[in-house]
Amino acid sequence: MFVAEPYTAAACFTFCCDAPMIKTCYDMEQKKKTSAKAQQDATEKILPTRYIRQPYPISAMQADLSTQQIRILVGMMQSIQDGVQRMFEQGTRDKDGQLLLFPEMQDDHVKVEFKFSDVTERPDAYPDVQKIAEKFMHMVFSYEDKEAGEVTLKHFVDEVTYPRKGSKRDRIVFAFTRKQAQTVFNFTKYSRYMLSVASGAKSKHTARIYMLITSARGFERDDSGVFHWYTGYDELRRMLGCDEKDKQDKWQRKRMKPYKHFKAYVLRTAEKELKELADNGKSDCWFEFAELPEGFDGEPQRFDFTVHLCEQKKIESNPAPVPSTAVSQQSSSSPDMQLF
């Protein structure tokens, strides 16, 4: 996400040497702070608790998404929730449920369309739209059918249309072929998360991990009623976009290379933010994590995420503020699926 350098009073004093000018710059800075505070108050509003259902392959996509790009993704998912609700009501969550999600096809494509203004009103967010469009265009699903002994590769999306800078058109359109839609929007495994948490999280890692722990994948309930989600360290790094494949198709560390950095800036940051939201009645869950095996040397092999569920009544009475930059278990017979 592109963020302009902040205009600070200190910088102003550096360039303004005369006393009258210093006062003028100070006044400008104070006025800007007041205006920024008023704008923040205006852009944050309390919305009723709303949940988004999202296919697990989307939650687990291997990509380094910015907070703005995550909001665009959530915007796409929010736009199809009416169809998703029909799928769940009629008990059809596999690929056949696409007939309920996308009853009509346009030019041999099913299209998911939503307003750019529903995601953000910031003009500097246009580059993020282009970036996420490019990322989606390069993503590939890998399907392994163990019974047939075959692996099939398929692109995540066929076309992405977005407004260019200065364009009056403000719609983002994701176009999928019917086969792509049947795969991408297969709700056999899915996440169910709060719109306000996924869109309003300060850290991109909080939003992504929240989507993962609210999925049905890998959950095991213990006697105390909490959930456990188990995942490998390498797998989690790849899902969060910390590792990337090189030209030889081998995974390489790209970000947060030392484990101590990953632990501090990814895991601990997400753990703290989600716990604070939960303590204030603004999240439906929070987590703790354990590194496995105990006494590991260098890097852990995997994690045990203990997911604590919050009281529903408390959440509904204290929904999280949503910035205006945000949009208001698999069958054993199915092929193994990976998104990279």
C-alpha separations of 99 from 39, 196, 330 in Å? 42, 29, 20
Left (φ > 0), alpha (ψ -120 to 50) or beta: where does 122 sit?
beta
pLDDT at 222 > cutoff 80: no
Confidence of residue 327 (pLDDT cuts 50, 70, 90): very low
Choose between 252 and 92: higher pLDDT. Answer: 252
pLDDT digits (tens, 9 = 90+) for 129-154: 777 777 778 777 666 666 777 777 77
Dihedral in degrees, nearest 10, Cα atoms 162, 322, 9, 14: -30
159 forms beta bridges with: 175
| Residue with token string 């040497």 | 17
| Residue with token string 């929730």 | 81
pLDDT digits (tens, 9 = 90+) for 189-219: 889 999 999 999 999 999 999 999 998 544 5
336 forms beta bridges with: 144
pLDDT digits (tens, 9 = 90+) for 255-281: 999 999 999 999 999 999 999 999 999
CB of 322 within 8 A of CB of 45? yes
Which SS3 state, helix, strand or coil, does residue 88 take? Answer: helix
The pTM (predicted TM-score) of the whole model is: 0.72
Tokens, residue 275: 């716990």
Per-residue pLDDT, 277: 96
Secondary structure of 184-228 as H, E, C letters:
HCCCCCEEEEEHHHHHHCCCHHHHHHHHHHCECCCCEECCCCCEE
- Output the furthest CA–CA distance in the chain (Å, rounded): 80
The DSSP code for 106 is B
Burial 297-330 (b: 16+ CB within 10 A, else e): eeebebbebbbbebeeeebeeebbebbbbbbeee
pLDDT at 248 > cutoff 50: yes
Confidence of residue 292 (pLDDT cuts 50, 70, 90): very high
Confidence of residue 80 (pLDDT cuts 50, 70, 90): confident
